[in-house]
């Protein structure tokens, strides 16, 4: 039982269905070999006689089965996160969402927030720090922040509240000393912040966390970012309904960008803020039977996120956003945003954000000039131009990505990784920064990390030729002939979907037909 043939097609499908039923996770085709290897590893560790025995263990309603699901989930899920991930969404929390919740709850002095899929705890602790900043009379409030996750190992780390510098990779180092103590090269979160957060093991798909007697009720805000992207549609619908019943009327749900596009959100009002799209539970008497309308704030109307369809926008009636409490001045929110989010001297955009035509033209002109400078390899001037651009328009994906490319070209890989992460904070579904990160990892000799990133690209773009070709190159370095053959067969299948005369630019400008012949010839030697 040392190879993937140990599982029949039928049994593999049964495992995939069982995992989806129990966790909501969809294992993409590109990741199914890894799943089979994981199953075989667990099989050997548990000293079971066959894959069927392991399947029956997972399927049985026993304590042993529950424990094994915990072990399997750890191997199937990605627990990577960091503090203040996605500055645009945290700007939205600082400028709009949290002040509105504080105003609404000012009489009762109770705020309840949940970070769903919190992993190792960086997100709920980020929220605790944000509330500590925004509530000068915090001691008069009852603030409860839940961090929930299916991965018990990740929650153990979260409860300790001890982090490496990698968890702060998008934040100015000077900000860490306010809420963390550096001990033996690790950052320990201050106890008064730690005490604001309660961690719980929750399976979003299977557990009834939205029941009336549950702690996870009457929530003002739920953050569930980069979780739905891994779920099948039925699991998304089930969890979304649970979130609806866990929120108070007018409570907010924030997800990763574009994760719920195409799903029935009629119980929520979709709101587009300058840097983020969020969902608000409607008042109980305002539930619609039709798709929700898109509302724009009166102070700042932004372009729709890229996944919002044009026909929805044309039918929408922009509604006036209720003014936020005057207790929070723009200056106060600017200071909070800068204290928490700013990196270097990059300005934070606060409420009065406007992308007028002149600014857009200036940005495009600078980016075109930088592209020319890159062709000339005038990297110093290109960096200078991009830094000036980011002071003018800090939330520009292309500027961060070009900064990453430049620093990678001159061998400054740590800086390149930092700028890739900044770009991904703006658009987490873009594959360009991931390609660059994979190249850097391979250049540094970290083939395991390079493969992990390339698999992420394939997950986001299943027909990504470049990712498959890069994977083949890595497997050639490793001498993994079996994987080479499988990857080349996949590449041929993708190429056959293209016109024979399609030019494959990143592969010696060969046509699709020529590349098919080349790869088929190579396969004859295996």
Read off the pLDDT of residues 7-43 as tens digits, 9 standing for 90 and up. 788 898 899 889 888 887 778 777 788 788 888 888 8
Pairing of strands 503-504, 510-511: antiparallel
pLDDT at 277: 83
**Alpha carbon distance 512, 335 (integer Å):** 54
When pLDDT is averaged across residues 356-364 and rounded to a whole number, the result is 61
**Alpha carbon distance 120, 160 (integer Å):** 9
> Percent of the chain at pLDDT above 90?
32
pLDDT at 309: 29
Same fold for the pair 4-76 and 355-450: no
Pairing of strands 110-116, 142-149: parallel
Residues 132 and 143 sit within 8 Å (Cβ to Cβ): no
Q: Where are the domains of the chain?
A: 4-76, 87-315, 355-450, 463-526
* CATH placement of domain 87-315: 3.40.50.150
Read off the pLDDT of residues 149-183 as tens digits, 9 standing for 90 and up. 988 888 999 999 998 877 886 666 666 778 889 89
Residues 229 and 161 sit within 8 Å (Cβ to Cβ): no
Tokens of 116: 């769903």
pLDDT at 99: 92
Read off the pLDDT of residues 326-337 as tens digits, 9 standing for 90 and up. 455 555 555 565
**Alpha carbon distance 442, 79 (integer Å):** 22
Tokens of 184: 């033996």
pLDDT at 335: 59
pLDDT at 143: 96
Read off the pLDDT of residues 388-422 as tens digits, 9 standing for 90 and up. 888 777 778 999 999 999 999 999 998 899 889 88
pLDDT at 123: 93
When pLDDT is averaged across residues 369-381 and rounded to a whole number, the result is 87
Residue 290's CB is within 10 A of a number of other CB atoms, namely 8
Weakest mean pLDDT among 54-58, 97-101, 425-429, 465-469: 425-429
Residue 514's CB is within 10 A of a number of other CB atoms, namely 17
* CATH placement of domain 355-450: 1.25.40.10
How many Cα atoms occupy the beta-carbon half-sphere of 231 within 13 Å?
Answer: 27
Pick the CATH number of 4-76 from 3.40.50, 1.10.155, 1.10.3470, 1.10.1610: 1.10.155
The model's pTM: 0.56
| Helix 397-409 × helix 379-392 angle, to 10° | 160
The end-to-end CA distance of the chain, in Å, is 23
Starting at the edge strand found earlier in the chain, the sheet holding 180-183 runs 162-163, 186-189, 180-183
When pLDDT is averaged across residues 97-119 and rounded to a whole number, the result is 93
Burial status of residue 174 (CB atoms within 10 A of its CB: 0-12, 13-18, 19 or more): exposed
Alpha helices in 247-329 (DSSP H): 310-315
Read off the pLDDT of residues 290-306 as tens digits, 9 standing for 90 and up. 333 333 333 333 333 33
CA-to-CA dists, residue 353 to 95, 134, 270, 287, 398, angstroms: 11, 21, 20, 31, 19
Question: Taking 50 as the threshold, does the pLDDT of residue 325 lie above it?
Answer: no
Tokens of 73: 């989930």
Read off the pLDDT of residues 479-516 as tens digits, 9 standing for 90 and up. 888 899 999 999 999 999 888 888 887 676 788 888 89
């Amino acid at each position: 039982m040392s190879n993937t043939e140990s599982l029949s097609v039928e049994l593999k499908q049964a495992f995939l269905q069982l995992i989806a039923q129990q966790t909501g996770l969809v294992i993409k085709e590109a990741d199914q070999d890894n799943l089979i290897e994981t199953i075989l590893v667990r099989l050997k560790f548990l000293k079971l006689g066959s894959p069927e025995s392991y399947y029956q263990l997972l399927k049985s309603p026993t304590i042993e089965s529950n424990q094994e699901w915990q072990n399997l989930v750890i191997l199937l899920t990605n627990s990577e996160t960091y503090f203040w991930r996605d500055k645009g969404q945290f700007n939205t929390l600082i400028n709009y969402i949290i002040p509105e919740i504080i105003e609404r709850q000012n009489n009762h002095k109770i705020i309840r927030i949940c970070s769903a899929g919190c992993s190792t705890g960086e997100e709920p602790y980020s929220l605790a720090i944000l509330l500590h900043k925004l509530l000068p009379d915090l001691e008069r409030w009852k603030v409860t922040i839940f961090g929930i996750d299916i991965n018990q190992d990740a929650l153990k780390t979260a409860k300790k509240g001890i982090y490496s510098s990698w968890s702060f990779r998008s934040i100015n180092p000077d900000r860490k000393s306010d809420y963390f103590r550096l001990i033996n090269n690790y950052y320990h979160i201050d106890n008064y912040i730690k005490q604001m957060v309660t961690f719980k093991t929750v399976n979003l798909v299977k557990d009834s966390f939205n029941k009336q007697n549950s702690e996870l009720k009457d929530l003002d805000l739920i953050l569930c970012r980069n979780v739905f992207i891994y779920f099948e549609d039925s699991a998304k619908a089930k969890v979304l309904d649970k979130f609806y019943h866990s929120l108070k009327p007018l409570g907010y749900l924030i997800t990763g960008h574009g994760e719920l596009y195409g799903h029935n959100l009629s119980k929520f009002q979709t709101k587009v803020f300058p840097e983020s799209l969020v969902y608000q539970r409607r008042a109980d008497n305002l539930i619609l039977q039709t798709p929700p309308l898109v509302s724009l704030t009166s102070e700042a109307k932004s372009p729709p996120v890229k996944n919002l369809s044009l026909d929805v926008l044309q039918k929408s009636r922009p509604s006036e956003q209720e003014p936020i409490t005057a207790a929070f001045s723009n200056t106060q929110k600017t200071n909070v945003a800068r204290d928490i989010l700013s990196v270097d001297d990059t300005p934070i955009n606060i409420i009065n954000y406007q992308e007028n035509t002149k600014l857009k033209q200036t940005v495009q002109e600078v980016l075109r000039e930088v592209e020319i400078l890159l062709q000339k390899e005038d990297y110093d001037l290109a960096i200078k131009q991009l830094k000036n651009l980011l002071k003018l328009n800090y939330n520009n994906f292309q500027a961060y990505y070009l900064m990453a490319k430049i620093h990678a070209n001159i061998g400054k890989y740590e800086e390149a990784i930092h700028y890739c992460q900044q770009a991904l904070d703006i658009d987490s579904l873009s594959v360009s920064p991931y390609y660059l990160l994979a190249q850097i990892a391979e250049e540094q000799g970290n083939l395991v990390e390079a493969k992990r990133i390339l698999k992420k690209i394939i997950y986001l773009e299943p027909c990504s030729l470049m990712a498959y070709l890069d994977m083949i190159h890595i497997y050639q370095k490793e001498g993994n002939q079996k994987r080479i053959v499988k990857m080349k067969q996949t590449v041929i299948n993708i190429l056959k979907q293209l016109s024979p005369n399609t030019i494959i630019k990143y592969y010696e400008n060969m046509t699709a037909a020529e590349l098919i012949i080349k790869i088929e010839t190579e396969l004859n030697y295996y």
